[in-house]
């Protein structure tokens, strides 16, 4: 007899591939039309904006319907929404926020089959209450609220995260498709290296679907932050290959909700908690939470920030590299001789690359503004300005961008850093970024 889960996987993978394949075809058609308009006198800027807007509309619509790698890619991109030109971003902000927090659910029958496979035919005796409707859904799995009977026979309110059937296979298939069309997303996210982003996501597929690794990382975070006044991490209680049971996080709001409708006081407080959590992990436990999209952060009734989903974690047993703090401090003090020497030594500037001192100083200086004052107000306008400065045709920063190389060992740190800045700009939060960096980034407070 055919396996229903395998049939479902084959069908859904084929449908995803067909939907993804429409994106480059649509882009090519719109570009051809745009060329025709320019030939008859329509201004190039207007044509470009029209193509950009229509490409964004199709891309967000397709990604919004998908799970697997496409959903993961959409979530990774969604934190950079603040960098989009407002004329493009405004109509699709709602779609992007949905990407951060939702995906089409599995059927109740599929959920029951997975639970029986993972916990045995009598799984319902261990989970006497189990809501077959998902409480949340993400790129490779969905979460159900349940009551679990622990080893002492006591009932616990829990979250059960279940992997979609064939999640690993779907991730591989989707990321191959996305890699082929990744260049098309460049115009929508100026200044973001989409190729590096997709390559890094492809490399982390195995970790994303490994619940042994996720449960282990989550347990370390939960133990370290057990009494933290700003952050809550749910403790993992048990897991199998395709199911992870954790403490339930009782929250009605996500960080995405705060982005949409939070007060300025909430934005500032939660933005600070968010950035402190990202930076403190490597310093306290040698781990960096590497998936900073707002759907992974919930707001508790007492105001703490609850952090969920530990499928993507960077292991930094020595903490963040001190050279990062040293160079950031040097840049904040306009010591660009030291900055350039350090960038060359670490491989950010390749040996044969010639680069103008003044150009690099003008390129980097605005990027270190957040650590040059006691507090810094992140906002979409600032991020769009930096993005345009680095990638707009004719912009001075373009030549500097092309001369910089991100070494492989820094790729994930760079993605988390840029993703974190994207979230802060979405929140439009004012945060004591310099204080956070000084307390948690080796080499910044003492650059020698």
Which of these ranges, 20-34, 95-109, 328-342, 385-399, has the smallest mean pLDDT?
20-34
Question: Please, which pLDDT band fits residue 397 given cuts at 50, 70 and 90?
Answer: low
47 or 397, which is more confident? 397
Residue 118's pLDDT is: 96
- Dist CA 300 CA 298 (whole Å): 6
Residue 371 vs residues 169, 270, 379, 393, 436: alpha-carbon distances, Å: 42, 19, 15, 28, 9
51 or 351, which is more confident? 351
**Has residue 358 got a pLDDT over 90?**
no
**Has residue 77 got a pLDDT over 90?**
no
**Has residue 254 got a pLDDT over 50?**
yes
For the stretch 263-289, pLDDT in tens is 999 999 999 999 999 999 999 999 999
Share of the chain above pLDDT 70, in %: 64
pTM of the model: 0.76
| Token couple for 432 | 């004591």
| Token couple for 142 | 């969905």
Which of these ranges, 221-235, 276-290, 373-387, has the smallest mean pLDDT?
373-387
Residues 138-142: what's their mean pLDDT?
A: 77
315 or 354, which is more confident? 315
DSSP readout, 115-144?
Answer: HHHHH-TTHHHH-SEE-SS-SEE-SSEEEE
Quick check: 164 and 106 in contact, CB under 8 A? Answer: yes
Question: Please, which pLDDT band fits residue 157 given cuts at 50, 70 and 90?
Answer: very high
Residue 68's pLDDT is: 52
Mean pLDDT of the chain: 78
Residues across the chain: 448
**Has residue 202 got a pLDDT over 70?**
no
Residue 294's pLDDT is: 87
Strands of 64-220, DSSP E: 129-130, 136-137, 141-149, 155-163
């Amino acid at each position: 007899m055919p396996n229903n889960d395998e049939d479902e996987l084959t069908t859904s993978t084929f449908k995803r591939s067909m939907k993804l394949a429409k994106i480059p075809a649509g882009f090519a058609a719109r570009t051809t039309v745009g060329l025709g308009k320019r030939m008859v006198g329509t201004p190039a800027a207007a044509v470009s904006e029209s193509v950009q807007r229509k490409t964004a509309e199709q891309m967000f619509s397709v990604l919004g319907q998908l799970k697997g790698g496409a959903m993961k890619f959409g979530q990774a991109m969604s934190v950079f929404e603040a960098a989009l030109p407002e004329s493009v971003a405004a109509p699709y902000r709602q779609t992007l926020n949905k990407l951060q927090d939702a995906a089409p659910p599995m059927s109740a029958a599929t959920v029951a089959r997975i639970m029986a496979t993972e916990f045995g035919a009598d799984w319902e005796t261990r989970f006497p209450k189990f809501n077959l409707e998902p409480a949340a859904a993400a790129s490779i799995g969905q979460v159900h609220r349940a009551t679990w009977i622990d080893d002492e026979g006591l009932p616990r309110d829990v979250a059960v995260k279940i992997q979609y059937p064939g999640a690993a296979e779907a991730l591989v298939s989707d990321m191959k498709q996305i890699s082929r069309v990744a260049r098309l997303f460049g115009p929508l996210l100026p200044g973001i290296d989409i190729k590096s982003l997709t390559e890094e996501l492809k490399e982390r597929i195995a970790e994303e679907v490994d619940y042994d690794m996720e449960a282990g990382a989550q347990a370390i975070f939960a133990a370290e932050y057990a009494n933290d006044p700003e952050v809550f991490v749910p403790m993992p209680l048990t897991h199998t290959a395709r199911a992870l049971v954790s403490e339930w996080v009782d929250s009605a709001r996500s960080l995405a909700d705060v982005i949409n409708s939070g007060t300025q006081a909430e934005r500032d407080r939660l933005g600070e908690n968010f950035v402190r959590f990202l930076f403190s992990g490597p310093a306290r436990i040698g781990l960096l939470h590497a998936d900073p999209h707002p759907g992974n952060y919930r707001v508790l009734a007492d105001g703490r920030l609850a952090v969920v989903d530990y499928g993507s974690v960077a292991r930094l047993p020595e903490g963040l590299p001190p050279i990062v703090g040293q160079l950031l401090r040097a840049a904040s003090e306009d010591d660009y001789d030291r900055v350039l020497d350090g960038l060359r030594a670490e491989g950010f500037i390749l040996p044969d690359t010639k680069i103008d001192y003044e150009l690099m100083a003008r390129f980097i200086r605005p990027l270190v503004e957040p650590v040059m004052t006691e507090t810094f107000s992140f906002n979409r306008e600032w991020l769009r300005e930096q993005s345009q400065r680095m990638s707009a045709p004719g912009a001075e920063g373009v030549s500097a961008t092309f001369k910089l190389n991100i070494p492989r060992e820094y790729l994930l740190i760079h993605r988390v850093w840029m993703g974190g800045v994207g979230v802060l700009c979405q929140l439009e939060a004012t945060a004591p970024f310099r204080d956070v960096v000084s307390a948690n980034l080796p080499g910044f407070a003492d650059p020698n």
